Amino acid sequence: MKLTDIVARCEHLFEDLDFNAVKEWKAAQPGRMAIGYMPIYVPREIIHAAGMLPVGIYGGGDQIEVIQGDAYYQSYICRIPRSTVELGLTGRLDCLDGMLFPSICDVIRNLSGMWQLMFKDKYVHYVDVPQNYDDSIGGEFYAHEMQQVREDLAKLRGKPITDDELRAAIAVYNDNRAAIAELYAYRAQAPWQAPTSEVYLVLRAGLVLPPEAHTQLVRDYLAAVKAEQRPKKDNARVVLTGAFCEQPPLSLIKSIEMAGCYVVDDDFVLVSRWLREPVPTDGDPLTALSKAFLHHSVQSSPKYDERREDKGKFLLHQVKTRGAEGVIFAAPSFCDPALLERPMLQEVLAKHKVPYTAFKYAENTGQMAPIREQAGTFADSIKLWSAA
């Protein structure tokens, strides 16, 4: 497949707020079901094991006019719940048979209950994850939580979900994670070849495609992009962090790149990279998923850091392993987890002499000039700093 075609397809999937890809997938075989989920992380393996399509709902972007959604939220609340409610109330999510709301913050948590009231005929569930990382405590609690989801979905489809189905799903997602890890490694190595504005779109496609198809897409993109020769620029290498829930508009990602920054790691669409190691496909599958969460998941502000010295470890790891020269804190306005975490991470970076800059956005931010300005200045200062 040609690179331009792949990117065009991803862009089309990204822009389609009517979720036609989901509708087509469902229509291909009668009785198919789709389950939506919000950021930051849900064990999609269980949905897949049930033969259902997991669909990532990451807000409405900058192309949706929000009327109903705004009616439910005060001005000091971020935008993602507004546009998500708008999507729901305008019938665009009717193709979903259920919605999962993960533990990420109070706003999304409360949205789970609002959804129960607004969409009474749909399956709605809040997925709690442990903030205690002992196998016998948090591990067991989480395995039980997942068992609950497993039973709920089994009821929905009318037959139990077997361990083998779960193991098979784990293998499918292991493969997907491996492909994405490869893509991320390649981008860090040659960011001019695989710009983030494209990588991001490829990643987003994974929210609406079946994982097998998405894995193939990622590999196709990687193959196609490797075959290209794209000009290399003298850009600063940065890690972008804080954008794990409400996503910045694509134009913002482009603006950062145009301003002279190569994004060599990020926390966009973290669900697809949450687990950092392959999940074992033998033994009890829920225990395997639980252990993977406890011991091999990324650090992100919705998760508790047990020890003070753990703070910022993952971010530093990203900076070091990706050869980044600085960090951009890009957080959605009114995002409690990202904004409360930020001063702690900044302190850690300062201690390690990693330069950083910070700004806020909304998924429909319309003015790019200040962001271009800031990212450009940051890139210039990094270059001056490294030249000195």
Partner 1 sequence: MATIQMPQSQKKPATVQKEDAMLLQKEMINRNYHELATAHETGRKVSATFVPGNLNELLMCFDFARSLPETNALQNGMRKKSGKMIMDAERDGHSEDVCTYVKADLGMMLQGEVGPTGEKLPRPDVLLLSYTGCFTFMKWFELVRQKYDCETVMLHVPYQGDGHISPNMREYVVKQLKEKVIPTLERVSGVKFDIDRLRQYMRESTKAEEDLVAVLHSAKNRPSPIDGYFGGVYYIGPIFTAFRGAPEATEYYRVLRAEIEERVRAKKGPVTPEGELEDEKYRLVVEGPPNWTHFRDFWKMFYEEGAVVVASTYSKVGGVYDFGFRHDPDHPLESLAEYCLGCYTNLNFPQRIDMICRYLDEYQADGLLINSIKSCNSFSAGQLLMLREVEKRTGKPAAFIESDLVDPRYFSAANIKNRLESYFQMIKQKRAAAGAAVH
Partner 2 sequence: MRCFIGIDLGSTTTKSVVIDEERNILGRGITNSRSNYDTAANIAKQEALVNARFHLFRGALKKSGALNGGLDEFVGQLERDFRLEQFTEQLADLEAVCGRNVDGGKFGDFAKPVVAALEETFRRLKLEAPELFAPGAKRKSDFFRDIAGSRYLAIGEEVAKAAELRYDFLLNIFDRSIIEVENREYGDSISKNLLAALDRTFRVLPEAAKRGEAIRAPIQGVLETALEESYVIGTGYGRARLPFSKEHVRSEILCHGLGAHVMYPHTATVLDIGGQDTKAIQVDRQGIVESFQMNDRCAAGCGRYLGYIADEMNMGLHELGPLAMKATKTVRINSTCTVFAGAELRDRLSLGEKREDIMAGLHRAIILRAMSILARSGGIRNEFTFTGGVAKNEAAVKALRDLIFENYGEMTINIDPDSIFTGALGGATFAWRAVVEEGKLAEARV
Residue 54 or 249: the one with the smaller Cβ distance to partner 2 is 249
Residue 369 or 384: the one with the smaller Cβ distance to partner 2 is 369
Residue 29 or 75: the one with the smaller Cβ distance to partner 1 is 75
- Rounded to a whole number of angstroms, the minimum distance from the CB of residue 287 to partner 1 is 15
CA proximity to 79, closest of 103, 60, 92: 60
Q: Is 129 in the site for partner 2 (CB under 8 A)?
A: no
- Rounded to a whole number of angstroms, the minimum distance from the CB of residue 282 to partner 1 is 25
Place of tokens 């997938």: 25
H-only helix segments in the chain: 3-15, 20-27, 44-49, 68-71, 80-89, 106-118, 140-157, 163-189, 196-205, 211-226, 250-258, 285-296, 313-321, 336-351, 369-387
How many whole angstroms from its chain centre is CA 388? 37
What residues from 60 to 79 belong to the interface with partner 2 (CB under 8 A)? 62-63, 65-72, 74-76
Place of tokens 């690179």: 3
Q: By CB under 8 A, name the binding residues for partner 1.
A: 71-74, 76-77, 81, 101, 103, 105-107, 109-114, 116-118, 125-128, 130-132, 134, 136-138, 140-141, 144-145, 148, 301-302, 304-306, 308, 311, 331, 333-337, 339-344, 346-347, 360
Amino acid at site 164: D
What residues from 5 to 64 belong to the interface with partner 2 (CB under 8 A)? 62-63
* DSSP letters for 218-267: HHHHHHHHHT-------PEEEEEES-SSSPPPHHHHHHHHHTTEEEEE--
Query: In the structure encoding, which two tokens stand for residue 328, read together?
Result: 């951009």
For residue 263, the number of C-alpha atoms closer than 13 Å in the C-beta half-sphere is 26
Number of chain residues interacting with partner 2 (CB under 8 A): 21
- Rounded to a whole number of angstroms, the minimum distance from the CB of residue 337 to partner 1 is 7
Binding mask 357-376 for partner 2 (x = CB under 8 A): -----x-xxxxxxx------
Residue 323 or 370: the one with the smaller Cβ distance to partner 2 is 370
| Helix (H) / strand (E) containing 129 | none
Residue 68 or 216: the one with the smaller Cβ distance to partner 2 is 68
Q: Which does 259 bind (CB under 5 to 8 A by kind): partner 1, partner 2, none?
A: none
Q: Can you give the binding site for partner 2, defined by CB under 8 A?
A: 62-63, 65-72, 74-76, 362, 364-370
